[in-house]
Amino acid sequence: MSDERKSAAITVFLGRGESPFPQRDEAAVLARFGPDDGPGLAAYAKEIVSEAAAFDIEWGDQSLSSGTAHFREEMRRRHPELTGEAAAALGWFFSYMWR
């Protein structure tokens, strides 16, 4: 089951829809979710983005597009709480990192 707040925290943390390139903006998460929920959601987003940055992929004959699709599918398998929007934001981060 997806978790809208955790997924939104990832999207906000990465700056998806706000920045032309991925960010790691803890302050944006804190501003969006406030002092009660913000710190925990920011920590969650940082953890997931760190996992994404360390994702080991065998490129072989894969293109950036197919590798990113594989990455998104794997992250959704590992983290069923992610919405499609959060997986897309992570894919944006991953493809930017590997471009």
pLDDT of 2 over the 80 cut: no
pLDDT at 4: 96
The domain limits of the chain are 4-98
pLDDT at 58: 87
Six-digit token pair at 52? 């994404």
Structure pTM?
Answer: 0.93
As a whole number, the mean pLDDT across the chain is 95
